[in-house]
A = this chain, B = another copy of it.
Amino acid sequence: MNSVTNDKVIQLSHGGGGKEMNRLIKDIFFNAFDNAILQNEEDAAVLHFDGNIAFTTDSFTVAPIFFAGGDIGKLAVAGTVNDLAMMGAEPQYLSCSVIIEEGFEIEKLKTIVASMARELKKSNTRIVCGDTKVVPKGCADGLFINTSGVGRILKPKISVKNLEAGDCIIVSRDIGRHGAAILMAREGLALESELSSDCANLWPIVEQLIAANVDIHAMRDATRGGLSAVLNEWAKASNVCIEVKEEAVPVSDEVKGLCELYGFEPFDLANEGTFIVAVPDDNAEKALSVMQQFCHCQSASIIGQVTADKVTADSNNAKENSQQGKVILHTPWGSARYLDVPQGELLPRIC
């Protein structure tokens, strides 16, 4: 049986369920994701759990598939690992399902799969099941990847509904880099600066926050919709007001520049390795010191605070206090405005 490496591009037969597909899966995916569970070749992986687990899914359609700071493979692993991590769950097992366009270069596929394998190692995560589909030329744009993930919850009760008045809002690093990097790649901009995506596996940081016993109320990576989407979701779900100081939010000069050029707000731009955490006031310094140990998070900052009390379900105060469920941005000039959920097209195929 020939090795798939003799082929240069993906053909329809690589998705047919026969010999060619078996070769592709063994030569490329099994080789890179090598582990005993995956090699079992059953229809499903058998895993053991005792207790609560987190389960999540994400499809990745980013264009271009290679960008400064990452590629679709790194993103597909980091994205799902981060969704688990944000729930206080150890990212133990992932699935990997690919939809490949006929004619896609096998060398590119190998590069992407190798990138996935590298990213998996950072959180000791294993891909234990998968699926490969090939669609005719023109029916997909290159390559789409779905990863779903499961892992045991080490820190329970992290929830969008758990914010309390007095909680500090911390952002792990400067915001907007992923959105800006994709925009740059797409527009063919060659800035003098070295702007790259923040795409990263957040589990190592979260693991340390849990180990340090930080009392995490809410935690979320600020992906599509950026910081604005996360804070608004929190404010609504917990029925609180979140007040943010604009000048406390770290934004790189490169991202600021691109935002001015294209009329974006850094708060709305996607991130892929930047998270927001809400902790009680007396836990904030501890959380910051843990985060700042990681080289990408040296600019971790307290950017605001939760200021309105929760309102009980049977209270009539909710409507009277119009700040609840809102996010207020205090500008450097002393004025304040609502930071709203982003609207409109933003950047399609950002992740």
Residues of A with Cβ closer than 8 Å to B?
A: 11-13, 15-22, 40-61, 63, 83-84, 86-87, 89, 93, 95-99, 102, 128-131, 133-136, 138-141, 144, 146, 148-150, 153, 159-160, 220-221, 223-226, 229, 233, 237, 268, 270, 341-351
Contact = CB atoms under 8 A, between A and B. Distances in A.
A16 B57 contact: no
Contacts of A57: 95-97, 129-131, 146, 148
A233 to B, nearest CB: 7
B18 A344 contact: yes
A247 to B, nearest CB: 25
Given A61-B133, A349-B135, A22 B341 contact: yes
Q: Oligomeric state, in number of copies?
A: 2
A96 B146 CA distance: 10
Contacts of A347: 16
Contacts of A96: 57
Nearest to A135: B61
17 contacts: A13-B343, A17-B342, A18-B224, A18-B225, A21-B225, A44-B55, A44-B86, A44-B149, A48-B51, A57-B95, A60-B133, A95-B148, A136-B348, A140-B141, A146-B146, A148-B148, A150-B150
Contacts of A138: 138, 141
B342 A16 contact: yes
Contacts of A220: 43
A17 B271 CA distance: 12
Contacts of A153: 46
B348 A134 contact: yes
Contacts of A52: 46-48
A149 B268 CA distance: 32
Contact of A19 (B16, B341, B348): B341
A13 B19 CA distance: 41
A46 B53 contact: yes
Given A57-B96, A141-B140, A146-B57, A87 B346 contact: no
A175 B224 CA distance: 44
Nearest to A98: B59
Nearest to A218: B42
A86 B45 CA distance: 11
Contacts of A129: 55-57
